[in-house]
A and B are shown apart, each in its own frame.
Chain A
């Protein structure tokens, strides 16, 4: 059916869409709004969906685009209206660590440090390491050449590893 999306598959993809949205926005409520906007956009563009292809990757692509557009708008609004919008390139990570995520100290650390990575690096890590998308698919989602994906992945992994090492060091001053 070219005029429809496979609804059970769409619902099945929701937990992963929601996770991706949380990684993008760093905010639980904004994440759910982003999922809603993505679903609405997906239904609008349903004729572009190729039955049989990876619905999840297609939805990630839509979500990435919706987020980039919204982020651009918000940035513009902030720079016009707010005096202290200059918090650096990383949007705040306002997601509490859930109990299940703090079972191991290192996991809570990985979770926390992910929030300090630039959004495109968080994105590439989640898509490559957690969702296990092919690099070509990630390039399509982020709309960049595959070389950019690889250099982002390289930097993200290196940076996350170093940040986790530093914070695990006993010499670290406790905040």
Chain B
């Protein structure tokens, strides 16, 4: 597009959308100063853009159905991989709900841990950093004894636990451990991918029920943490993984836990 051409309708749209550059952009900006009607038009387009985003962005925060996550995983028609990870995820015993009677009062609230104020995501990041880098003993009980691990943690925390299956995201369970919390212990499940990259899920019991399930993000000393509250449990997924990827995994964790909860017998 030559810059000698007169400004057109297309330029007005491109300008309003922030897609016009260089000399034409400068010329349009100058035209706006002279022409209030044109300026009003650009403002109206921008306002409409904002409204459209606000109207349609809430859909992005919705949890994804398991079928869609599975659909992204592999071509249809191809057989699922064999082994225990191939079990239908909903019925899978590998999916365990975790819940712990911890003294965590709510998202973002400050915990007093040994005199040091620590937020939930910070504690998750510190816990992850401490154990994920441990070559010999990152977990207390390894994944080959997954059933025992789950029984043990459930007993210690007095709450039925579920460890999500993250195989679809390329991560397999390494194992788990009991970790120190404020007043009561928490549960940490660690996962690893083929590149030996580790992520961990920290789960704690909240005292108050809340319907809010929005994902929140924090970056603590290079460790990314997505955390959320669901039905009185606080979850934090931590790892040195870039944000979009960690969010994608967090969505899968969320979907797994929601499905496990739905499948669990009512007390």
Contact = CB atoms under 8 A, between A and B. Distances in A.
Q: Do A and B come from one complex?
A: yes
Interface of A: 7-12, 14-16, 18-19, 22-23, 32, 35-36, 39-40, 43-44, 98, 100-101, 104, 106-108, 110-111, 114, 125-126, 128-130, 132, 134-135, 150, 153-154, 157, 160-161
Contact of B248 (A8, A43, A106, A107): A8
A16 B76 CA distance: 21
B52 A126 contact: yes
A106 to B, nearest CB: 6
Contacts, number: 117
B17 interface: yes
A154 to B, nearest CB: 6
Q: Which label, helix, strand, loop or mixed, suits the secondary structure of the A interface?
A: helix
B51 to A, nearest CB: 5
A155 to B, nearest CB: 11
Contacts of B9: 150, 154
B53 interface: yes
Contact of B71 (A12, A35, A110, A157): A35
Given A8-B170, A39-B71, A39-B72, A19 B59 contact: yes
12 contacts: A9-B244, A9-B245, A36-B71, A39-B71, A101-B55, A104-B54, A107-B51, A107-B55, A132-B17, A150-B13, A153-B13, A160-B48
B55 A111 contact: yes
Contact of B17 (A106, A129, A160): A129
A40 B49 contact: no
